[in-house]
Chains A and B, each alone.
Chain A
């Protein structure tokens, strides 16, 4: 029993000495599961965790927000504080009265119906419009809230 206590104490001491960097993690929004190198640290905010210097991977997933994966080379320091701002996903309605058009977002997502509901990550998206296989229009859609876009050929998108 004495030996067991000794081993426990030594291993505890080693773990404290090796992983000397104090780690705090905050996220916006709060109460998000934070994974460090695949291990769940718990829900944010995370306080007084320990991390070793070196390369680490942080992963954060929450419904309604773009998943976040971040590789960080942690330098030797007394403490490190990480703030993650998750990128929200907004519900967008896209409508056009033009006929025979094919729409493409970010070079990979296509539809040809006049009215569609989309879930878009906040930020800029690249819209291309095709007609009979040819690009007839290109625009940048800026998404910063739930919106309804109305598309008119070769006119800037209007939202309401």
Chain B
């Protein structure tokens, strides 16, 4: 009996451990072999931090400054939807802050449209290549007044036929600012810088390369920068043939044929005379004098025959030697 108790005593701890182990494992139950996921979308927060683009466009005003300017910024060649539109008093530099990523950073497809709120100025575009973020200073842009433009045509007063190749010049006093010639259709267009808008003694001179007296007219751009002119050259159809023309300057146009009679006018070279009567030394005829913009009157008088030559309508252009005179 003692021997049995001794054996029990010796193996009791191991027995108890076995009982505990099997008891607990049966209590815990089996572990499922895999982790079971429900494929739930993970919670993720993504935060972008965008930098700014500081866009600077220095401006320089030539001659005049418009009161206000509307600036429009377009990106990525989209000229329909400006990303920014600012109306402000004409600044020394245009400054705008744009969000990162709006500009094309590969090509010059970004545009700043400068629209002066003044009819004397034309809108200007500045194309530029963008940056990702940071400061972008563009080259200085000069804001000029819009060009003054004169367009129209040149024609013969006699029959309204268009004259091609007639010279047209814009002059301030006698200084030629710009010159051109009417084209095959008798049309011309000539422009000068906008700063001449307020210049006095601005005039257009047309037909200096023709045999007739040139057309001269004072120009007034105060109401519009663009003028349209129909320039009639030569004598009108009221001047009856035969037509003669003075062949030099300061030709006496006198009241009567007698020597010493009163001189009504001193005619310039190219003045056309409609001859009505002839004497051995003198012609009696009419000259055309314009009173205002559209009204011409005829005045009669006497001129020495040697001061006139017959008008040849087959060639109304001055010869080279005549032009060099």
Chain A contact residues, CB within 8 Å of chain B: 20, 22, 66, 68, 70, 72, 75-87, 89, 93, 95, 105-106, 109, 111, 113, 115-125
Contact = CB atoms under 8 A, between A and B. Distances in A.
Given A76-B100, A76-B132, A113-B29, A89 B51 contact: no
B167 to A, nearest CB: 59
B46 A72 contact: yes
A106 B32 CA distance: 14
A84 B38 CA distance: 18
A105 B37 CA distance: 10
Contact of B42 (A84, A89, A118): A84
Contact of B36 (A76, A81, A113, A119): A119
Contacts of B45: 81-83, 85
Contacts of B51: 77-78
Given A87-B40, A119-B32, A79 B49 contact: yes
27 contacts: A20-B132, A72-B46, A77-B50, A77-B51, A78-B49, A78-B50, A78-B51, A79-B49, A82-B44, A82-B46, A83-B47, A86-B42, A87-B42, A93-B29, A106-B38, A109-B32, A113-B29, A115-B30, A116-B31, A117-B28, A118-B32, A119-B36, A120-B35, A120-B38, A122-B40, A123-B40, A124-B38
A121 B50 contact: no
Contact of A78 (B31, B40, B133): B133
Contacts of A119: 31-32, 34-36
Contacts of A81: 45-47, 49
Contacts of B43: 84-85, 87
A63 B46 CA distance: 24
Please name the 8 residue pairs, one residue from A and one from B, whose CB atoms are nearest each other, closest first.
A115-B29, A85-B43, A78-B51, A79-B49, A83-B45, A123-B40, A81-B47, A77-B48
Contacts of A78: 49-51, 100, 133
B101 interface: yes
A117 B101 contact: no
Contacts of A85: 42-45
A117 B31 contact: yes
Contacts of B37: 66, 106, 121
A84 B49 contact: no
Nearest to B49: A79
A55 B155 CA distance: 71
A111 B44 contact: no
Interface in B210-269: none
A75 B44 CA distance: 16
B49 A120 contact: no
Given A66-B35, A116-B32, 5 more contacts: A75-B101, A111-B32, A113-B29, A119-B35, A120-B36
A77 B42 contact: no
Contacts of A77: 48-51, 100-101
